């Protein structure tokens, strides 16, 4: 989607440490949050526009169609807290419909938050903007006692292993002062449809995946050859998730931080899992995290879901 925004770069998000530790493991791995440097964020915006990637446009259509009902459930005199400031297009729908007293975007990038605040200040003069530089995957405490509506769109919850997703929901619940959580969740569906969404014909997802290697070269002085790796993103139906890998196309070595990492031909770096849920399986997980699932909206094809969970 066109957010019209670029994320600021060079925040110290621990990439160097995470990559050296992840490449020393067997099998090799790296957390998917490291995709999102400035280039990666632009590539992700392009993914959201792809014909194969139904998620973004489906979620936006659901938000638009049900905005009034969502606002009614959120109630009056609330604060909206967004976990990971993402697409302004999505939160604007909520700001217009729910008219909260304050918007608290939480993000690891202070530069990106500054851009968000600048973009919204002009259009919402009566809205208190309280950006918070924070990693929402870590323990969270947000000062203040006003009732909050949490917002966690984009099926980002799918990037966490189910156990970690449950723990994250629990932690988010603890920040809402008795309010609710509006959360977007991608649904289990025809594996061919899922496969196409992560293996687009234009190769944008492949470029997004390989940008991790380019990022390591740019920021850490590594010497990865991105063409020496293949983008591989199969759907694992037993685990109900897309798994994303970079697979070495040959035997090769990479220098990073004064260390050498060897790759056998065919050896992989696991870069992302994207878990899919049924409406029922997600509601069950939310209930285990202490929420009461109150409302759910989905499109006619059952591609994507948005849940309103009360705490």
Sites of contact with ligand AVJ (CB under 6 A): 47, 154-156, 158-159, 198, 205, 272, 274
* Distance (Å, whole) CA 150 – CA 177: 10
Q: Which is closer to ligand AVJ, CB of 79 or CB of 107?
A: 107
Q: How far is the CB of 292 from ligand AVJ (least distance, A)?
A: 25
Phi first, then psi, for residue 168 (nearest 5°) are: -65, -45
Instruction: Answer whether 83's CB lies under 8 Å from 152's CB.
Output: yes
Instruction: Answer whether 150's CB lies under 8 Å from 181's CB.
Output: yes
Q: How far is the CB of 89 from ligand AVJ (least distance, A)?
A: 14
Q: How far is the CB of 105 from ligand AVJ (least distance, A)?
A: 16
* Distance (Å, whole) CA 267 – CA 79: 47
- E strand spans, 92-214: 102-107, 128-129, 132-133, 148-152, 180-186
Q: How far is the CB of 167 from ligand AVJ (least distance, A)?
A: 18
* Distance (Å, whole) CA 108 – CA 136: 8
Q: Which is closer to ligand AVJ, CB of 30 or CB of 47?
A: 47
Phi first, then psi, for residue 89 (nearest 5°) are: -60, -40
Q: How far is CA 157 from CA 81, 86, 263, in A?
A: 16, 13, 31
- Going by C-alpha positions, the residue among 231, 266, 268 that lies closest to residue 29 is 268
Q: How far is the CB of 272 from ligand AVJ (least distance, A)?
A: 6
Q: Which is closer to ligand AVJ, CB of 185 or CB of 222?
A: 185
Q: How far is the CB of 154 from ligand AVJ (least distance, A)?
A: 4
Q: Which is closer to ligand AVJ, CB of 198 or CB of 224?
A: 198
Instruction: Answer whether 127's CB lies under 8 Å from 95's CB.
Output: yes
Q: Which is closer to ligand AVJ, CB of 268 or CB of 311?
A: 268
Q: Which is closer to ligand AVJ, CB of 105 or CB of 154?
A: 154
Q: Which is closer to ligand AVJ, CB of 47 or CB of 94?
A: 47
**Three-state SS at 309:** strand
Q: How far is the CB of 279 from ligand AVJ (least distance, A)?
A: 18
**Which residue sits closest to ligand AVJ, CB atoms considered?**
274
Q: Tell me the two tokens of residue 154.
A: 């984009």
Cβ neighbours around 5 below 10 Å, total: 18
Q: Which is closer to ligand AVJ, CB of 116 or CB of 242?
A: 242
Q: Tell me the two tokens of residue 42.
A: 């632009």
Q: How far is the CB of 271 from ligand AVJ (least distance, A)?
A: 9
**72 sits in which H/E element:** helix 67-74
């Amino acid at each position: 989607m066109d957010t019209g925004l670029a994320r600021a770069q060079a925040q110290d998000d621990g990439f160097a440490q995470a990559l050296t530790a992840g490449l020393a493991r067997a099998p090799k791995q790296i957390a998917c949050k490291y995709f999102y440097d400035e280039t990666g964020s632009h590539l992700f915006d392009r993914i959201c526009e792809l014909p194969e990637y139904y998620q973004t446009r489906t979620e936006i259509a659901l938000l638009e169609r049900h905005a009034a009902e969502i606002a009614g459930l959120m109630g009056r005199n609330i604060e909206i807290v967004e976990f990971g400031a993402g697409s302004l297009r999505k939160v604007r729908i909520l700001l217009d419909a729910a008219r909260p007293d304050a918007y608290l975007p939480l993000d690891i990038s202070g530069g990106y938050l500054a851009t968000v605040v600048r973009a919204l200040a002009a259009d919402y003069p009566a809205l208190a903007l309280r950006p918070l530089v924070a990693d929402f995957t870590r323990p969270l405490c947000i000062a203040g006692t006003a009732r909050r509506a949490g917002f966690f769109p984009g099926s980002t919850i799918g990037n966490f292993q189910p156990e970690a997703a449950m723990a994250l929901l629990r932690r988010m619940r603890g920040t809402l002062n008795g309010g609710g959580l509006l959360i977007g969740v991608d649904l289990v569906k025809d594996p061919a449809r899922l496969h196409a969404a992560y293996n687009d014909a234009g190769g944008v997802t492949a470029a997004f995946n390989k940008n991790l290697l380019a990022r390591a070269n740019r920021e850490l002085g590594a010497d990865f050859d991105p063409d020496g790796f293949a983008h591989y993103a199969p759907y694992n139906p037993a685990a109900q998730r897309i798994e994303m890998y970079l697979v070495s196309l040959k035997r090769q070595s990479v220098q990073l931080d004064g260390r050498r990492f060897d790759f056998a031909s065919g050896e992989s770096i696991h870069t992302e899992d994207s878990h899919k849920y049924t409406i029922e399986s997600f509601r069950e997980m939310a209930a285990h995290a202490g929420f009461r699932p109150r409302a759910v909206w989905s499109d006619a094809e059952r591609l994507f879901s948005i849940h309103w969970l009360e705490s």
